[in-house]
Amino acid sequence: MSVKPTARPTVLSLNINSRSALYMAYIPKLKNGGIFIPTSRAYALGDEVFVLLSLMDDPAKLPIVGKVVWITPVDAQNNRPQGIGVHFNADESGLEAKRKIEAILGTALSSSRLSHTL
């Protein structure tokens, strides 16, 4: 019996420079939080990815492991950018990312303004 080797997760880097860009990318509806990452690379639902997330002026990058939960194809409706939605894992790095993002966004989380994810 052969054992299929486990593929290493893809590493993606995302730099978010403003609160409005963070609002557009964050996915609060996911249990552990998540982020939209613009990319033209092909992914499948369930693929594991490793994200290095930079938030505004914070020099520390947040290392987050997550899974692809949706794919926005090229030429999507309403001119939505091509990319993937990544659901943060329920580990310390995912929970820390969710806490930091939600602290930055604060009351904006209850806004009805459209984002890349809704």
The strand ranges marked E within 23-60 are 34-38, 48-55
- pLDDT range class, residue 48, cuts 50, 70, 90: very high
Of 67, 71, 37, nearest in space to 54 by CA = 37
Residue 81 confidence (pLDDT): 86
Tokens of 88: 């943060």
- pLDDT range class, residue 2, cuts 50, 70, 90: very low
Tokens of 1: 């019996």
Residue pLDDT, tens place only, 64-115: 999 999 998 887 777 788 999 999 999 999 999 999 999 999 877 765 555 5
Tokens of 95: 């929970």
Is the separation of the CB atoms in 100 and 55 below 8 Å? yes
Look up residue 2 and give its amino acid.
Answer: S
